[in-house]
Amino acid sequence: MFASALIVFRESLEAALFIGIVAAATRDLAGRTRWIVTGAAEGLLGSLLLAASMEQVSGMAGGGGQDVLNAAFLSMALAMLAWHCIWITTHAREMVQQARNVGSQAHHQGQALWAIAIAVGVCVLREGAETVLFISGIAASAQSGWQVLLAGAGLGLLAGLGMGLLIYLGLTRIKVHYVFAVSNAFLLLLAGSLASQLAKVLTQADLVGVGSEALWDTSGALPEDSPPGMLLHALLGYDASPSALQLGFYLGAIAFIWLASRRVRAGLAPQGRPA
């Protein structure tokens, strides 16, 4: 029971933390709940479809179908998250100018939340498909005590969702003045994490042949499949033995979003001095 709880906990944790952070980062935007719920619901629906067609997907692209699809999903989530991060830095200033251009802000807002809804949907889809396959495997195997395993899976799911709720409550308790900076920093780390996972998938699929050697190995001190390792993996993209490609993608994504945000902010600053 504990084993199945842990497996489902790990799968649901990543998506739940993603949603919790995104929900906190967008909490003052109109209609954000609807966008996030829609994204998550479509992700769930997609994960059922993906789980059901896993056999066909696996056979595509000469047996590399899963990797190609994973790379596409990760790229899409990363692009959407990056776009949102860059856009949201302009939001603080827009809030100040709200009185002057309410109309254009509402317009931008709709676009940005569309991006975040896709990012949420893709995250739920990736983690959800694995969970669906795991649970359907338990239910189909009819091995003794499958009810207990299923109950464990349910507990794991609840625990994962609970962690998402916890980070949301934690982030929204931060003083209004800092909540924007803190939740945006978390979004940046999530983007780095997605980029690192993308690098891993590209190596696995043999699409990129360079930088695949592990730079270091901290699996002895902090294994990735231990609860703190899982938490750090989901929050910061912790990898016990990252490859050079993963580290490069991780830092590259964060640097790109940070620099792009600065440029956009500088371009918007009426005084001409970047904030």
Partner 1 sequence: MKTLKNLLLVPLAALSATLAFPGHAADTELQLVIKNHQFQPAEIKGPAAQKLRIQVHNQDSTPEEFESHSLKREKIIPGGAKATILVGPLKPGRYEFFGEFNPATAKGTLVIE
Q: Site residues (CB under 8 A) for partner 1?
A: 3, 7, 54-55, 58-59, 62-63, 66-67, 130, 133-134, 136-138, 140-141, 200, 203-206, 214, 219, 223-225, 240-241, 243
If the CB atoms of residues 84 and 200 are measured against partner 1, the closer one turns out to be 200
- Measured from the Cβ of residue 93, the count of other Cβ atoms closer than 10 Å reads 15
Least distance (Å) between residue 188 CB and partner 1: 24
Minimum Å gap between C-beta 251 and partner 1 is: 18
Query: Of 15 and 116, which CB lies nearer to partner 1 in the complex structure?
Result: 15
Tokens standing for 85?
């991060």
CB 233 within 8 A of CB 224: yes
Minimum distance of partner 1 from residue 68's CB (angstroms): 12
Please give the biggest Cα pair distance in the chain. Answer: 70
CB 78 within 8 A of CB 195: yes
CB atoms within 10 A of CB 63: 10
Q: Which is nearer to partner 1, 94 or 130 (CB)?
A: 130
Rank residues 64 and 252 by Cβ distance to partner 1 and give the closer one.
Answer: 64
Q: Where on the phi/psi map is residue 63: left (φ > 0), alpha (ψ -120 to 50), or beta?
A: left
- Tell the smallest beta-carbon distance from residue 59 to partner 1 (Å): 8
